[in-house]
């Protein structure tokens, strides 16, 4: 796999060399589970290389958006409203130690340590990402299918939905303490169980070959490539199976603008702008490099997912 440079000091500059080498060996051996945390300075947010197999579900012919843009053009309102805020203001955020609680209507509720998640068999998935604001990227995520995790906790027959909850840490996330209430914290999201079990739905722990930078939702986030980006809740601390449709942050904030489903749909406009087309980010060339491109139904994943919504009126359930 190609190795990408990450704009932060290499681990070799902060860890005694012998330890660093042994950590690399461990990672390479895929035996990082439970050990990485012990070797790293406990709360370090340094990027670590991840070993991942290219997944069969990566889109074909997709050219990834440059790393610089993927990590410096973000909507992550916990860190501020500007696209540049997450990169600039997430330096105090500690993505470890970290646990994710999986509970609710399951036979075996469990708490996963982030190192256990990083130690799973990871896949690279190159996905399109379409923001509800009519821009898009292509991102090489690293993660694992959410369905594999859910299978381990054994959802009960009564479970119909999956609710996700993000972290609340105003001391580390300056956007959570703003003057005007932006969203109700914690950020919450939800999926129907069959959406959550779809093989395209992943929990991402990295991108571009390394652990997730803080501004992209470290240490673990949801990626549902056929839905608008805001469904991809970041910095997840809780996953709960339930029989009721969960509240979702943007839907609570503006129900006429952001639906529960939020499937990418060029035929259903946002009240304030058209969703028919999108501006690809990072095409280069300034004004004249990137022209708009047409937005695809289900963001181009219709073949795989349209069946989930058979018989539904997607104008009403937008």
Partner 1 sequence: MAARRGRSAGLIRLALYGIGLVPAVVSFVLGATNRLGADPVNTFERTLGLWALRFLILSLCITPLRDLTGVNLVRYRRAVGLLAFWYALFHLSAYVALDQGFDLHTLLADVTTRPFIILGMVAFTILSALAATSNGWAIRRLGRRWKALHRWVYAAAICAAIHFILSFKVIRVETLLYGLVVAALLAFRVYRAAPRRAKAPPV
DSSP-derived pairing of the beta strands 277-280 and 293-294 = antiparallel
- Can you tell me the distance from the alpha carbon of 229 to that of 177, in angstroms, rounded to the nearest whole number? 23
DSSP-derived pairing of the beta strands 210-211 and 202-207 = antiparallel
Contact (Cβ atoms closer than 8 angstroms) between residue 63 and residue 140: no
Binding-site size for partner 1 (CB under 8 A) equals 36
We find the least distance from the C-beta atom of residue 67 to partner 1, in angstroms, to be: 11
In this structure, what is the dihedral angle of CA atoms 4, 122, 92, 252, given to the nearest 10 degrees? 120
Question: Which of these ranges, 25-33, 35-43, 79-87, 89-97, lies near partner 1 under the rule CB under 8 A?
Answer: 79-87
The stretches of 140-248 forming alpha helices (DSSP H) are 146-153, 193-196
**72: burial class by Cβ within 10 Å (0-12, 13-18, 19+)?**
middle
Residue 227 annotated as lining a ligand binding site:
no
Residue 24 annotated as lining a ligand binding site:
no
- Can you tell me the distance from the alpha carbon of 75 to that of 131, in angstroms, rounded to the nearest whole number? 9
DSSP-derived pairing of the beta strands 99-104 and 236-242 = parallel
Residue 130 annotated as lining a ligand binding site:
no
We find the least distance from the C-beta atom of residue 222 to partner 1, in angstroms, to be: 19
Q: Is 84 helix (H, G, I), strand (E, B) or coil?
A: coil
Selected from 114, 173, 282, 301, the binder of partner 1 by CB under 8 A is: 282
Residue 135 as a binder of partner 1 (CB under 8 A): the answer is yes
Residue 28: CB partners within 8 Å, gap ≥ 6?
51
Residue 78 annotated as lining a ligand binding site:
yes
Query: For partner 1, which is the closer residue by CB, 24 or 279?
Result: 279
Residue 7 as a binder of partner 1 (CB under 8 A): the answer is no
Residue 274 as a binder of partner 1 (CB under 8 A): the answer is yes
Selected from 41, 111, 151, 273, the binder of partner 1 by CB under 8 A is: 273
Report CA 119 to chain centroid distance, whole Å: 18
Selected from 76, 77, 98, 208, the binder of partner 1 by CB under 8 A is: 77
Selected from 51, 168, 183, 296, the binder of partner 1 by CB under 8 A is: 183
Question: Which of these ranges, 113-121, 122-130, 160-168, 267-275, lies near partner 1 under the rule CB under 8 A?
Answer: 267-275
Residue 291 as a binder of partner 1 (CB under 8 A): the answer is yes
Residue 101 as a binder of partner 1 (CB under 8 A): the answer is no
We find the least distance from the C-beta atom of residue 248 to partner 1, in angstroms, to be: 14
Selected from 45, 146, 281, 305, the binder of partner 1 by CB under 8 A is: 281
Residue 6 annotated as lining a ligand binding site:
no
């Amino acid at each position: 796999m190609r190795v990408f440079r990450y704009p932060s000091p290499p681990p070799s500059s902060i860890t005694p060399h012998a330890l660093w080498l042994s950590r690399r060996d461990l990672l390479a051996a895929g035996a990082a589970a439970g050990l990485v945390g012990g070797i790293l300075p406990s709360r370090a947010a340094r990027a670590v290389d991840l070993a991942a197999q290219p997944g069969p579900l990566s889109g074909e012919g997709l050219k990834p958006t440059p790393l610089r843009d993927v990590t410096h053009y973000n909507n992550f309102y916990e860190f501020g409203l500007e696209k540049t805020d997450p990169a600039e203001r997430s330096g105090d955020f500690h993505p470890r130690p970290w646990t994710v609680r999986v509970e609710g209507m399951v036979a075996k509720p469990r708490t996963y340590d982030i190192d256990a998640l990083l130690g799973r068999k990871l896949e690279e998935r190159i996905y399109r990402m379409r923001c509800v604001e009519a821009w898009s990227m292509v991102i090489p995520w690293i993660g694992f299918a959410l369905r594999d995790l859910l299978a381990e906790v054994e959802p009960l027959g009564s479970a119909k939905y999956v609710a996700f909850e993000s972290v609340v840490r105003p001391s580390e996330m300056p956007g959570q303490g703003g003057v005007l209430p932006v969203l109700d914290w914690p950020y919450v999201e939800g999926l129907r169980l069959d959406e959550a079990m779809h093989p395209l739905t992943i929990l991402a722990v990295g991108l571009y070959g390394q652990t997730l930078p803080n501004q992209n939702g470290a240490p673990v986030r949801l990626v549902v490539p056929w839905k608008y980006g805001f469904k991809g809740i970041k910095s997840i601390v809780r996953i709960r199976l339930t029989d009721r449709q969960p509240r979702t942050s943007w839907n609570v904030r503006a129900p006429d603008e952001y639906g529960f489903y939020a499937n990418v749909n060029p035929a259903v406009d946002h009240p304030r702008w058209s969703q028919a087309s999108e501006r690809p980010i990072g095409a280069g060339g300034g004004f004249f490099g990137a022209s708009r491109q047409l937005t695809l139904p289900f963001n181009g994943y219709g073949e795989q997912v349209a069946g989930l919504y058979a018989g539904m009126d997607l104008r009403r359930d937008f």
